[in-house]
Amino acid sequence: MASEAVNAAQSRLGVLAQHLAPLEPGDLLTQQLTSSSYSRGGYDSTFPQATTSAAFPPAVHDLLALEGLLSPEERQLRDKVRSYMEANVAPVIADYWEKAEFPYPLVPGFGALGLAGGPIKGYGCPGLSIVANGMAVVEVGRVDASMSTFLLVHSHLAMLTIALLGSEEQKQELLPRMAKFDLVGCWALTEPSNGSDASALTTTATKVPGGWMINGYKRWIGNGTWADVTVVWARNNQDGQVNAFIVRKGNPGLRTAKIENKIALRCVQNADMTFSQCFVPDSARLPGVASFADTNKVLAISRIMVAWQPVGLSVGVYDMCCRYVTERKQFNSQLGSFQLVQEKLARMGGNIQSMWLMCWRLSKLYEEGRMSHEQASLVKAWTTARGREVMALGRELLGGNGILAHFHVAKAFCDLEAIYTYEGTYEVNVLVAGRRITGVSAIRAASPPKAASGKKGGSAEAGEAAAERK
């Protein structure tokens, strides 16, 4: 058995060498691809009985021929992203994840895929359909959720906010460079005191001669430690409404600190951000933002992409498990020959087909101008919940290897926990959907009886609006 595994590994090494051919021999990424502790064609000498995720498994997850719902252009984009991720990211990403480091050497090649600013037309952006953007998110997430989140924050939050709500000057200056990843963006909304209740944010923007002075704190900001462009949301002192501002890297009023000890999305550099007398000129304010409600214009698309993310993680885990159970033997039989193994794979596959179809339909509704926020919340809640089940079943199928990052499942298992929470927790999203179903909001308790002073309790509507968005 061991000799067969070695021969198979040598064959895999030849395939990997073909993938590496376009890279220069002295390139840093080439060195990492060839020296990574688990990248040698997916062969681990301490466990030759199965292939690691460094040689990513073939895609076998489309059990209902769902690709027939894609246009030729969408299939072409999917295949291009899949090839890049398998050849360049899969061999090295587990080591980056283990060290909680971002794979900076991958950014130039990643940028060449032409995914940044996906739905934006013009300004050097590709103007992709919503479904095509979803396919990109799936294929990136299939190999690594951190890279998928990096793309989502940069493209579908920072860039999209500038494209939808920025001035023409802001678009012309920033979007072409961000489309090439010459500039990297982040999106600062969440605060230490306000997560789901995002509309109650406390960061302030005070009008001063020539600009604005921003003060406050933000937390969990993806790409925040190294972003060149920060879109920050703050409440202005003139009318009390929430506005958005662009803060550039190097501003003396901005300090960032990496959030340590994460078990999920470990490659994503999440930051605590402190704005202390952070001055920005009048030209840094996004003129299209009049109130917090304008976040809807951005989050309508970004929540679709977040709903697609668990699909990507789930298909990666499923593909990995399908290969593993054909390679791994116990009791002189392939694991795949056992009834309980087949039941788990069938359940995983069924979940994936339903998740994919819900996201596809949501994307089409948006393209037709008929999507509601309640529908987006329903789908995001569903895909993260079903994705969790897929992760758990995959973890069971791999046994002890199910807790090792370089067999992929453990890494995806942890990563999905972050996606389950961001862009609206599961609980908040199902309550938003429930409000649509029943016509009654259960997100916040009803206001207390009128006090003797005649003052009323807090606004339930404000809480609902906030909870819907983070």
The per-residue pLDDT for range 307-336, each reduced to its tens digit, is 999 999 999 999 999 999 999 999 999 999
Residue 69 has pLDDT above 80, yes or no: yes
Read off the DSSP letter of residue 67. Answer: G
Please tell me the predicted confidence (pLDDT) of residue 216: 97
What angle, rounded to 10 degrees, do the helices at 373-397 and 339-367 form? 160
Supply the mean pLDDT for the chain. Answer: 89
Residue 195: in which H helix or E strand, if any? Answer: none
Average pLDDT, integer, range 332-355: 97
Residue 456 has pLDDT above 90, yes or no: no
Q: 42-46, 184-188, 387-391: which has the minimum mean pLDDT?
A: 42-46
pLDDT (tens digit, 9 = 90+) per residue, 108-138?
999 999 999 999 999 999 999 999 999 999 9
Q: 26-30, 130-134, 159-163, 414-418: which has the minimum mean pLDDT?
A: 26-30
pLDDT (tens digit, 9 = 90+) per residue, 161-196?
999 999 999 999 999 999 999 999 999 999 998 878
Average pLDDT, integer, range 69-92: 98
Instruction: For the beta carbon of residue 291, count every other beta carbon within 10 angstroms.
Output: 13
What are residue 221's DSSP bridge partners?
Answer: 271
Whether the CB-CB separation of 194 and 467 falls below 8 Å is answered with: no
Question: What is the model's pTM?
Answer: 0.87
3-state secondary structure of 275: strand
Residue 199: pLDDT band with limits 50, 70, 90: confident
Average pLDDT, integer, range 429-438: 94
CA distance 394 to 352: 13
CA distance 386 to 310: 8
Residue 108: in which H helix or E strand, if any? Answer: helix 107-111
Average pLDDT, integer, range 258-277: 98
Torsion of CA 427, 429, 432, 434, to 10 degrees: -60
Please tell me the predicted confidence (pLDDT) of residue 444: 72
Please tell me the predicted confidence (pLDDT) of residue 195: 79
Closest CA to 93 of 17, 171, 36, 131: 36
Q: Is 230 exposed, middle or buried (0-12, 13-18, 19+ CB in 10 A)?
A: buried
> For the chain, what percent of residues have pLDDT higher than 70?
86
Closest CA to 408 of 316, 308, 310: 316
Please tell me the predicted confidence (pLDDT) of residue 291: 94
Residue 84 has pLDDT above 90, yes or no: yes
Please tell me the predicted confidence (pLDDT) of residue 448: 58
Provide Rg for the chain, Cα atoms: 23
What are residue 121's DSSP bridge partners?
Answer: 126
Residue 452 has pLDDT above 70, yes or no: no
pLDDT (tens digit, 9 = 90+) per residue, 203-256?
999 999 999 999 999 999 999 999 999 999 999 999 999 999 999 999 999 999
